[in-house]
Amino acid sequence: MITFLLMFVLIGSAYALFSRDLLYSTIALSMTSVVSALIFYLLHAPDVAITEAAVGAGLSTVIFIWIIKHTRRSDP
């Protein structure tokens, strides 16, 4: 189960690296954060899971999307 979720994290982060569209990258990164929060919860670390979900999926996604809105969306 955890190995499967880790593969999911890896695929998501690789897509975030290689994607030319920064909005898709941000959404993939946010999904990666949610899945890793789930992994932390399965590994009996709910504190780290709350931090990961709040910082990774909440705050940094809001800031990234705001920045993409004010700059170019595609990665040259």
Partner 1 sequence: MIYIMGIVSILLLSLVLGPMIIPDFVWPHIARDFLLHNGLSDTGASNLVSAIYLGYRAYDTIGETIVLLAAVTGAVYLITGSPASVHGSEKLPQKPKRRTNIISMTTGKLAPVVMLFGWYVMFFGHLSPGGGFQGGVVLASGLLFIALGRENHQRESKLDRSGLHIIEVSSLFLILLLLSIPLVFGASILENPFGKNGSTIPRVIYIVGFNMAIGLKVGSGLTLLGLLMMDMKHDD
Q: Contact residues for partner 1 (CB under 8 A)?
A: 2-3, 6, 9-10, 14, 17-18, 46-47, 49-51, 54-55, 58-59, 62-63, 66-67, 70-71
Shortest Cβ 18–partner 1 spacing (Å): 7
The CB-of-36 to partner 1 minimum distance in angstroms stands at 11
Nearer to partner 1, 71 or 76 (CB): 71
Query: How far is the C-alpha of 37 from the C-alpha of 42, rounded, in Å?
Result: 9
CA–CA separation, 12 and 61 (whole Å): 15
Rg of the chain, C-alpha, whole Å: 13
